[in-house]
Copies of this chain bind each other. A is one copy, B any other.
Amino acid sequence: MNKYKYTALKAFAKQVFFNAGMADEQADGAALALLSADLRGIDSHGIARLSGYMRLVDKGRINPKPRLNIIHESPSTATLDADAAIGLISAPYAMQIAIDKAKSAGTGWVAVKNSNHFGIAAQHAMMALDHNMIGIAMTNASPLVAPTFSTSRMLGTNPMAFAIPAASEPPIVADFATTTAANGKLEILQRKSLDAPEGWIQDAQGNSSVNPHELSQGGALLPLGSDREHGSHKGYCLGAVVDIFSAVLSGANYGPWVPPFVAFLDPPSDPVGDGIGHFFGAMRIDAFRPAEDFLHHTDNWIRTFRNAQRSNPEQPVVIPGDPERECEALRRVEGIPLHPAVESDLKKLAEKLGLNFSAEACA
Contacts of A105 in B (CB 8 A): 74-76, 105-106
Please determine whether B149 and A316 come into contact, CB atoms closer than 8 angstroms: yes
A44 CB–B CB distance under 8 Å: no
- Taking a contact as CB atoms under 8 Å apart, the answer to whether A304 and B255 are in contact is yes
Contact residues, A52-102 vs B (CB, 8 A): 72-77, 79
Q: Is there an interface contact between B74 and A284, defined as CB atoms closer than 8 Å?
A: yes
Distance A150 CA – B307 CA, assembled complex (angstroms): 9
**Residues of B close to A104: CB separation below 8 A:** 75
Quick one: which of A162, A304, A309 has the most chain B CB within 10 A?
Answer: A309
Does any Cβ of B come within 8 Å of A2's Cβ?
no
In the complex, what residues of B have CB within 8 A of residue A76's CB?
A: 75-76, 105-107, 287
Residue of B nearest to A155 (CB): B305
Say yes or no for A329: interface residue by CB 8 A criterion: no
Task: Tell me if A48 is interfacial: C-beta within 8 Å of chain B.
Answer: no
Determine how close the nearest CB of chain B comes to the CB of A125; give it in whole angstroms. 11
Chain A 98-117 residues near chain B, CB threshold 8 A = 104-107, 109, 111
Distance from A4 Cβ to chain B, minimum over Cβ atoms (Å) = 29
Which of A174, A177, A288, A308 lies at the interface centre, i.e. has the most chain B CB atoms within 10 A of its CB?
A288
Contact status A288-B149, CB under 8 Å: no
Complex CA distance for A287 and B72, rounded to whole angstroms? 7
> B176 near A237 (CB under 8 angstroms)?
yes
Least Cβ distance of A280 to chain B in Å? 12
Q: Is A216 an interface residue (CB 8 A)?
A: no
Q: How far is the CA of A271 from the CA of B42 in the complex (A)?
A: 38
In the complex with contacts A172-B244, A294-B249, A256-B304 CB distance below 8 A: yes
Q: Of A186-194, A223-231, A337-345, which binds chain B? A: A223-231
1/0 contact string of A253-274 vs chain B (CB within 8 Å): 0111000000000000000110
Please list 12 pairs of residues, one from A and one from B, whose beta carbons are closer than 8 Å in the complex, sorted by A's number. Answer: A73-B287, A74-B105, A77-B287, A79-B289, A106-B109, A109-B283, A148-B318, A177-B234, A197-B229, A224-B225, A230-B230, A240-B305
Q: Which A residues are within 8 Å of any B CB, using their own CB?
A: 72-77, 79, 104-107, 109, 111, 134, 146-152, 154, 162, 164, 172, 174, 176-181, 197, 199-200, 202, 205-206, 224-226, 229-231, 233-238, 240-241, 243-245, 248-251, 254-256, 272-273, 283-285, 287-289, 293-294, 297-298, 300-301, 304-305, 308-312, 315-318, 320
What 10 pairs across the A-B complex have the smallest Cβ distances? A74-B106, A206-B311, A174-B237, A152-B308, A74-B287, A77-B106, A77-B287, A76-B76, A150-B308, A176-B234
